[in-house]
Structure 1
Amino acid sequence: MAELTLYTNPMSRGRIARWMLEEIGEPYDVEILDFGPPMKNDDYCAINPMGKVPALRHGSSVVTEAAAICAYLAETFPQAGLAPRPDERANYYRWMFFAAGPVEAALTNHALGLEPPADRSTMVGYGSFETVVDTLEKAVSRHPYIAGDRFTAADVYVGSHVSWGMQFGTLPTRPAFAAYSDRLRDREAQKRAFQLDDAAAESMKKANA
């Protein structure tokens, strides 16, 4: 039994955590949960009281939230080279948590048609959808990767939001976003993770048919 266990659903943000696990190259187990009651029962809520995925168990410790899982794995397994170097830390933390906060909130609200009134935009933190998108575009345009000239764990998280946003139409397709996403598609770990999750999704579909 591996020290690492990922609790996930292949049609969720758990795909981000799976990609990160493939990047670090450590053995891990996977527990696939259906949405609904399986995520809300007492056993799983003892792991994540929110009753959602992903969650990561590492020995006796549990980490939830995809951005936190990425940061935790990068720092816990430094041999993978995905944690920030001193000169990368500012961009690394800045843009990872920009994606976890303003980007996540702005894209979700926009997709749901929940636009804050202009005179109350400061109350939602991110200001406006347009400001968030323009800021994200500038961030991915500054360097080949989000923290600088090399790939880090922040790219797993930010890149997932950019790729999914364009795929599902919650983020406008702009040349800078497409170029950034294309660079990440060459990652062998991403290819492995997506293949594993796609296969798991197909198995779930057949089992629930």
Structure 2
Amino acid sequence: MIELWHCKDARSLRATWALEELGLTYDLHLMEFPPRATSPAFLEVNPLGTVPFMRDGATEMTESCAIVHYLAVRYGMGTLAVGPDEAAFGDWLNWLYHADATLTFPQTLILRYGRFEPEDRRQPQVVEDYTQWFFSRLKLVNARLEGAEWLCAGRFTAADISVGYALFLGDILGLSAHYKPQTRAYLDRLMARDAFQRARARGTPLPV
């Protein structure tokens, strides 16, 4: 049985969404954010105290995009995964990891220094700088969606889950008012998916 530790709307949503898309049976451990503070016993499971944390037999994973990649390849070849024999394989891998390394990274700083830190430790300039960073890093997404419904391979894949979460988090942060029309439409398509809605329904919202 796959086990997943998850906080609603955190990066663990990527993993929950992938599990729902694949129709897999899993045991979901719901926690409030931040789990290292609200669920101290979780540190015995994952010393980092972060979500997601996934256990699949002897496999334990902490990185959201890697978990989506793992699930897609292990359980979703021909659906969420793009195989190495397909022309879009490299493109697929690049989008999978572009999602966190390039898009979610600035959002974590916006969250920390604009929402989560005590008032006296908040940094408006950091928030502004990394808001602009985020928008500048959306250029590839905007360009790809000008002529495509999905990011790669001509179909919905795990890459759309990884990037889609970053766009969804931007929605929570109030950044989506500045999305390009094609990017807003893409996010709406993703959020309308039954699997996304089932995944999103679980847990207590982020305190933002």
TM bin, normalised by shorter chain, reads 0.7 to 0.9
- How do 1:137-152 residues align onto structure 2 when only pairs under 5 Å count? 137-152=142-157
Say which of 9, 12, 15 aligns to 2:10. Answer: 12
- Partner amino acid for 1:177? T
When structure 1 is superposed on structure 2, of 55-64 and 142-151 the one drifting more is: 142-151
Cα separation, partners in 2 of 1:108 and 1:140, compared to 1, 3 Å:
farther
72, 75, 82: which is aligned to 2:73? 75
2:54 maps to a residue whose letter is L
Distance 1:9 1:131, change over 3 A: closer
Q: Is there any run of 5+ residues in structure 1 with no aligned partner, and where?
A: 118-123
TM-score where L is the length of structure 2: 0.77
Give the TM-score normalised by the residue count of structure 1.
0.77
CA distance in 1, matches of 2:9, 2:200: 11
Quote the residue 2:28 is aligned against: 30
Equivalent-residue separation in structure 2 for 1:89 and 1:46 (angstroms): 37
Q: Which runs of 5+ in 2 are unaligned?
A: 114-124
Shift, 1:72, TM fit: 0.6
Aligned residues: 188
Q: How does 1:1-209 map to 2 (within 5 A)?
A: 3-34=1-32, 35-41=35-41, 44-78=42-76, 81-85=79-83, 86-109=86-109, 112=113, 113-114=125-126, 128-171=133-176, 172-195=178-201, 197=202, 200-201=203-204
Quick one: structure 1 residues 115 and 75, their matched pair in 2 at CA, closer, same or farther if it must change by over 3 Å?
same
**3-state DSSP class of the match of 2:50?**
coil
What SS does structure 2 have at the residue aligned with 1:151? Answer: coil
Q: Is the 8 A contact 1:166 1:173 kept in 2?
A: no
CA deviations 1:26-58 (Å, max 9, x no partner) are 1100112233445444xx335422111111100
Q: 1:141 to 1:95 in 2, by over 3 A?
A: farther
Q: Deviations over 1:110-148 (max 9, x none)?
A: 56432799xxxxxx9xx9444312233113334211113
Q: What is the Cα deviation at residue 23 of structure 1?
A: 0.8
